[in-house]
Amino acid sequence: MITHTMSNAKAQKQVFESLIEIIRKTSTELPGDVIRAVEKGKSAESPNSSAAYAMNIICQNIDLAKVKSQPLCQDTGTVIFYAYYPKKWDYSVVHKLIEKAVSAATKKGYLRQNSVNSLTGKNSGTNVGPGAPYVHCEAWAKDEFEFKVMLKGGGCENVGAQYSLPDGRIGAGRDLKGVRKCILDAVYQAQGKGCGPGILGVCVGGDRASGFVHSKEQFLRKLDDKNKIKELAELEEQMVKEANELGIGPMGFGGKTTLMGCKIGALDRVPASFFVSVSYMCWAYRRQGAKLDKAGKIQKWLY
């Protein structure tokens, strides 16, 4: 029994260390699929334009953050965790380890002090508080762990939008044509405010809460994947093409790359409701994940 407790304590410590490393990597390095999309965007802009100037600084910043191992963007955002753990572990232990790792990563400067009490305005200084970090945690049958992390900044979070169809203002009905209009409107409304070029996560259906959650889960997909649902795969491609015709460009300076990707999922809805929930992700698209062995050591990066 004592041996078991000791080994568990050892594994807990290792999971904690691994979680800090996952947070560090998420905050300071962009995944390969995102870097490829940024480089593609950069090469599309005309030389000497303000758009090219912006994309150049963005690329310099990606390199510098990695070399210095410091936050790519000072807004390290809402910390969003998706955690899967072996059944013999206790939920509260895993949850607590995530909170401890977030607090430690904040102390190390990988995360900004970013959780503010909404009533008093007081910053906890640790990124831990009611609802912070956001954690989706579930046990699974495997004896290993999987953690995925997203850091979603406030600037892009603020330009997310939810539509209830039919929407008379933009003439959007309850079908994919209407969904298309909502997405175009969300991109137009966001202009340069969400640190474009951006990426959209969209949910068709669900309720107001599940719709936004599912729209954000689209960001766990790789930019170069293909939607398994044919209609959605087509719409995703069409939206990127059409959004880029708007000419808003990087930072809203005008230019060819307004959107680098659009990922769409669908949930069932009740007959009375038809929501389209659009989440916007900035170019500083920080998501990472890792598989950990049963001892808590990082075995493999997921992105």
Partner 1 sequence: MIQLNAPFTEEKVRNLKLGDQVEITGIVFTGRDAVHKWLSEGNNPPVSFENGIIYHCGPVVMPQGAGAKKGWKVTAAGPTTSIREEPYQAGVIERLKVRAVIGKGGMGEKTRLACQQFGCVYLHAIGGAAQVLAEKIVKVQNVYMLEKFGSPEAIWQLEVLSFPAVVTIDAHGNSLHREIDSLSKSKFEELLKR
Residue 238 found at the interface with partner 1 (CB under 8 A): no
In the complex, minimum distance from the CB of residue 43 to partner 1, in angstroms, rounded to a whole number: 18
One character per residue 9-38, x = contact with partner 1 (rule: CB under 8 A): ------------------------------
Among 101, 102, 264, 284, binds partner 1 (CB under 8 A): 284
Contact status, residue 179 vs residue 276, Cβ threshold 8 Å? yes
Among 251, 259, 276, 292, binds partner 1 (CB under 8 A): 251
Residue 155 found at the interface with partner 1 (CB under 8 A): yes
Residue 281 found at the interface with partner 1 (CB under 8 A): no
Residue 46 found at the interface with partner 1 (CB under 8 A): no
In the complex, minimum distance from the CB of residue 120 to partner 1, in angstroms, rounded to a whole number: 11
Residues in binding contact with partner 1, number by CB under 8 A? 54
Residues 61-80 binding partner 1 (CB under 8 A) are 61, 64-65, 68, 70-76
Please return the burial class of 145, using the count of CB atoms within 10 Å of its CB with bins 0-12, 13-18 and 19+. buried
Contact status, residue 52 vs residue 177, Cβ threshold 8 Å? no
In the complex, minimum distance from the CB of residue 277 to partner 1, in angstroms, rounded to a whole number: 20
Strand partners, 139: 85
Residue 8 found at the interface with partner 1 (CB under 8 A): no
C-beta of 191 vs 273, nearer to partner 1: 191
C-beta of 180 vs 291, nearer to partner 1: 180
Among 31, 160, 194, 205, binds partner 1 (CB under 8 A): 194
Tokens of 75: 């807004």
In the complex, minimum distance from the CB of residue 156 to partner 1, in angstroms, rounded to a whole number: 9
Residue 256 found at the interface with partner 1 (CB under 8 A): no
Give the CA distances from residue 252 to residues 30, 48, 52, in Å, rounded to whole numbers and listed in that order: 22, 16, 12
Distance in angstroms between the alpha carbons of the first and the last residue of the chain:
38
Contact status, residue 30 vs residue 286, Cβ threshold 8 Å? yes
Among 10, 87, 245, 300, binds partner 1 (CB under 8 A): 245
Among 170, 176, 220, 302, binds partner 1 (CB under 8 A): 170
Among 33, 167, 207, 242, binds partner 1 (CB under 8 A): 242
Among 8, 17, 254, 293, binds partner 1 (CB under 8 A): 254
**Chain residues in the site for partner 1 (CB under 8 A):** 50, 53-54, 57-58, 60-61, 64-65, 68, 70-76, 109, 112-114, 116, 121-123, 125, 153-155, 158, 170-171, 181, 184-185, 188, 191-195, 242, 245-249, 251-254, 282-284
